[in-house]
Each structure stands twice: as C-alpha cells, then as structure tokens.
C-alpha cells in the first residue's frame, strides 16, 4: 500500500505557485475507483478499477477549465474496498495542508463508490476548514457506454468552485445530486443513481453547472467535534469492528473480536438495533471490561434512539448514523474519551 501513497510535502512540491487567477483554484485529489477504471470490453460489466491517472481524468473534461483553474494530485490508485484508516488520515492531512497553505479554494476527491460514504464522513469529522471539499466517483468505468464519471467530476468541480458550498462540511455529488457526508449512503450496486440520503434526502442538485440547494444544512451537520487531523497524523486509530445481527446469530464473532483486542464494537442490529440474548450478554460484559459498544441498525431509515428494547448501562446508541459511519465516529471518539456518556453526546449530534 505504501507505494501508492505520496508524502504531503512531495505532492505540494509538484505544483508551481498559483498565478493571479480570476477563477476559483480547485485541486482534484484522485484515489482510484471505477471513475478511473477501464472495462475489459466496453459493453461488458467486468472491468479493472483504478487504471487512469488524475491527469487523464482532467483531460477528459476540457469544459472544466471554464469553471475553475484545476490541478491534480494522485494520492493513491486503488479500488475503494481497499481503502484504510491510514489512507484516510493521510488524505485528511493533505486537505489540511492545501487549505492551510492557501494552495486552493476548494478540493474535489475522486473515489471508488463502495466506501465513498465512509471516507466522506471521516473527512467531515476531522476537517476544520470552511472551504468546500466534495467527493465524487462513478458507477461505470471510463470506457463504458454512458460512463457517468466525466459528468460527476465536472459537477463536483462546479460545486467546489461555488461559494454557496462554503461552510457546509464535506459533500458528495453523484448523478447531479448533492448529499451531506453524514446522511449519504450507497443504495444500489450498479445503477448510476446509486446514492441517497434515506432519512433526509439530498441537500440539492447541480443544474447546468450551478448548485441549487433545497434547504440549509441541519445544525448538527456543521458541529465541530474537536477532532484534529494534526494530532491524529502520527497515531493509529483505535480498532473498532462491526458485528451483524440476524436470525440465529450467536455471540461467537462478538466474543472473538473482544478477545483479539477490539477497542470498540458496533452492532448492526435488526429493526431498532435489536440483537439476540447471546450478543446482549456478551455486549454487557464487554462494556464492563471497558470495550465501547454502539447499538446501530442494518435498516436504512429511522436510526436507533435511546428508548430501545432491553437497554443497559454504558450502551451507546448510533442515532441516525449507519453502522459503518458509527464505527468511524467511535474510532475518533475513542482517541479522546472512553466515557460512554461523553461518546453518546457526540452521537446525539446526529438525531
């Protein structure tokens, strides 16, 4: 993995000093994914992701220069199922360096769609800057008929260049729609309209290169939790795992994770975050032993509130966060506190 990652210093040195520009300065950070993929034959579903460079992606959309002065950084070139917390930290550090050094006015991150929502949420939690950060990708490889990557990248640059996107946290743009990092999730495996925000809907849409926001961001989505990427840059994040609940589920996997050093466990429960008696007993014991346990749900809408079935002392509820996003918030929360009440306060920002 290390061979794919450039140091922040080296990447910043790739660029000359920005001139006196009248257009917004947008940096595209490429990480790979389907948007950089090539189909084995254009008419087939089979393809190899993460083949094109950021320079190639930019050249595919000459109209992009009408909206902004664009430059690129190739952070890595991977399929997003291979994304890791270590790369998240490196990406966030690059974002911080670019904005702190006034190297750009907005940032676009191209990313595989499988874990895009996770990367977006991590960046949202640790990014302290008001300048726009927008993630995008594609559902079809670059040489597929009807490839959606060029339009998505164009829209993402338009949004990152728009002053209306300032102060709205990290955003995701797919198939013309704008989503918040906390609310967005992938809801379809192959369709270009693959992303949605099940509880709150999209924040807006891109029309003709212009952002139209339907509504202001809920206050919770611009809360600063105080996570500092500069403090996290040289540390390994706490290990948090996810256990799925289902009919007949035992505590075998839960117990194995605890025995192998998990700092926290998110239970993707059925319904309102429910799980079997066996998992419940193991969860209670884990909390007593200092392991953080978050009760989430595998259901797309509704979330999990504190008035659940069989609540117990020390249990944390995920509120509206999905299991995968609850995992990320818990990882970061555990860097500063192991008190369930304090961690619950952070989750309560996402009702």
Instruction: Please tell me the predicted confidence (pLDDT) of residue 29.
Output: 99
Instruction: Please tell me the predicted confidence (pLDDT) of residue 258.
Output: 99
Q: Where are the domains of the chain?
A: 2-12+22-222, 239-347
For the domain made up of 239-347, the CATH class stated in words is alpha beta
Question: pLDDT tens, 146-166?
Answer: 999 999 999 999 999 999 999
Instruction: Please tell me the predicted confidence (pLDDT) of residue 223.
Output: 56
Question: pLDDT tens, 69-113?
Answer: 999 999 999 999 999 999 999 999 999 999 999 999 999 999 999
In the predicted model, what is the mean pLDDT of residues 272-276? Answer: 96
Find residue 72's DSSP bridge partners: 28
Q: What is the pTM of this model?
A: 0.93
In the predicted model, what is the mean pLDDT of residues 6-34? Answer: 70
Cα 336 to Cα 226: distance, rounded to the nearest angstrom:
10
In the predicted model, what is the mean pLDDT of residues 134-138? Answer: 99
Catalytic residues: 34
Tokens 């890791």: give the residue: 84
pLDDT above 80 for 3: no
Please name the residues in contact with 325: beta carbons below 8 A apart, sequence gap of 6 or more. Answer: 117, 118, 121, 182
pLDDT, mean over the chain: 92
pLDDT above 90 for 42: no
Q: Are 33 and 49 in contact (CB under 8 A)?
A: yes
Whether 239-347 and 2-12+22-222 are alike in CATH topology: the answer is: yes
Residues in the chain: 351
Question: pLDDT tens, 202-244?
Answer: 999 999 999 999 977 654 455 567 899 999 988 899 999 999 9
| Sign for the pseudo-dihedral over CA of 192, 49, 63, 163 | positive
* The CATH number, out of the four listed (3.30.930.10, 1.20.1440.120, 3.40.190.10, 3.40.50.1170), of the domain defined by the range 2-12+22-222: 3.40.50.1170
Instruction: Please tell me the predicted confidence (pLDDT) of residue 40.
Output: 87
pLDDT above 60 for 254: yes
pLDDT above 90 for 266: yes
Instruction: Please tell me the predicted confidence (pLDDT) of residue 17.
Output: 46
In the predicted model, what is the mean pLDDT of residues 268-283? Answer: 97
Q: Which residue has the higher pLDDT, 307 or 49?
A: 49
Question: pLDDT tens, 110-123?
Answer: 999 999 999 999 99
Cα 70 to Cα 54: distance, rounded to the nearest angstrom:
11
Among 12-16, 131-135, 197-201, 258-262, the range scoring the smallest mean pLDDT is 12-16
């Amino acid at each position: 993995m290390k061979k794919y990652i450039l140091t922040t210093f080296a990447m910043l040195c790739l660029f000359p000093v920005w001139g006196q520009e009248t257009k917004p300065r947008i940096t595209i950070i490429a990480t790979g994914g389907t948007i950089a993929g090539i189909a084995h034959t254009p008419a087939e579903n089979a393809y190899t992701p993460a083949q094109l460079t950021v320079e190639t992606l930019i050249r595919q959309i000459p109209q992009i220069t009408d909206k902004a002065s664009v430059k690129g950084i190739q952070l890595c070139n991977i399929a997003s199922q291979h994304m890791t917390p270590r790369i998240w930290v490196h990406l966030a550090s690059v974002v911080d360096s670019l904005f702190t050094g006034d190297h750009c006015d907005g940032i676009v991150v191209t990313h595989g769609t499988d874990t895009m929502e996770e990367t977006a949420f991590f960046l949202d939690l640790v990014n302290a800057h008001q300048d726009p950060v927008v993630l995008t990708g594609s559902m079809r490889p670059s040489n597929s008929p009807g490839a959606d990557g060029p339009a998505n990248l164009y829209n993402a640059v338009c949004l990152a260049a728009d002053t209306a996107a300032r102060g709205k946290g990290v955003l995701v743009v797919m198939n013309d729609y704008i989503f918040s990092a906390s609310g967005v999730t992938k809801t379809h495996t192959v369709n270009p309209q693959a992303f949605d925000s099940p509880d709150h809907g999209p924040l807006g849409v891109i029309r003709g290169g212009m952002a139209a926001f339907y509504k202001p961001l809920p206050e919770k989505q611009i809360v600063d939790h105080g996570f500092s990427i500069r403090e996290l840059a040289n540390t390994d994040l706490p290990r948090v795992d996810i256990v799925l609940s289902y009919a007949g589920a035992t505590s075998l996997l839960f117990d194995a994770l605890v025995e192998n050093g998990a700092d926290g466990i998110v239970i993707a429960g059925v319904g309102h975050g429910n799980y079997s008696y066996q998992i419940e007993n193991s969860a209670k014991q884990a909390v007593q032993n200092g392991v953080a346990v978050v009760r989430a749900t595998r259901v797309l809408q509704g979330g999990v509130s504190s008035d659940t079935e069989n609540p117990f002392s020390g249990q944390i509820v995920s509120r509206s966060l999905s299991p995968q996003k609850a995992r990320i918030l818990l990882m970061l929360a555990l860097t500063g506190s192991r008190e369930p009440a304090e961690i619950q306060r952070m989750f309560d920002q996402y009702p």
